[in-house]
Amino acid sequence: MKDRELSLVYSTTAPLRIAVVDAGIASRETALLPALRNAGFRAHGLASATELYRTMLAQHFDIVLLDADLPGENGYDMARHLRTSSDIGIAVIIDADHRQAPIRALKSGADLYIPKPVDTELLIASLRSLVRRLTRTQDFGSVADQPPVRGWQMEADGWCLFSPHGDVIPLTATEHTLIGALATRNGQVITREALIEAMTHNAYEFDPHRLEMTIYRLRLKSRNITGETLPLRTVRSKGYLFQCEVR
């Protein structure tokens, strides 16, 4: 697709939000942010992991671009942390002189890596490719668009889930509330905001990472108990959906 056609595509949808975490003011403010904004992204510059995590409590990002050589918590560790708690797109800027840097970036959970010095044209093309890939794999409105998942069941009172092979997954109070809210829209997307409202009496004081960590831990518990993947799916930039039968 030509650049002009890509620009038309991006102009018809909400700009994707990108967090650029780079301690170098010159590279961040004079190179990366202007290039991303000119390409149609909504780019937000940050200098450290602490700034990113604090900002993510109030803002949603579709992609994070991390400098691997950040002081304190480096880009690899940040990528590993973000990947365990969310399905956000992750790109890491690496030192091309280090042979293991690309492998380390991908093993940490990054979707792609960009070598230094950063070629902004390569960066933009890589991020657009990532957007297309994420959209193809995750942008769907209901499980009707996907192969059906059969056999998962939930007790009517919502305190246990049953795998297709009969394994029982007991739910904590938080998981019970989460699954109950998702079950009301069985197989349909429910927004992150709606789930947060179901899980707390004060959405403004609720840490959004609690929702992501609850989902991550529930998926992990399901794999550990049943050896199967829980049909709780992420719909990027929209929310989550869950499909099961109530028994």
Q: One-letter amino acid identity for 18?
A: I
Backbone angles phi, psi at 33, to 5 degrees: -60, -45
Rounded to two decimals, the pTM is 0.57
CATH number of 3-138: 3.40.50.2300
Structure-token pair, residue 122: 């390569």
What pLDDT does residue 160 have? Answer: 87
What pLDDT does residue 36 have? Answer: 94
Same CATH fold assignment for domains 3-138 and 143-246: no
What pLDDT does residue 113 have? Answer: 93
What pLDDT does residue 37 have? Answer: 94
What pLDDT does residue 135 have? Answer: 62
What pLDDT does residue 165 have? Answer: 82
Domains of the chain, by residue range, sit at 3-138, 143-246
Q: Which stretches in the chain have pLDDT values below 50? A: 1-13, 138-149
Under CATH, what is the fold of the domain 143-246?
Answer: Arc Repressor Mutant, subunit A (1.10.10)
What pLDDT does residue 164 have? Answer: 85
Core vs surface per residue 201-240: b (16+ CB within 10 A) or e: eeeeeeebeebbebbbebeebbeeebeeebbbbbbbbebb
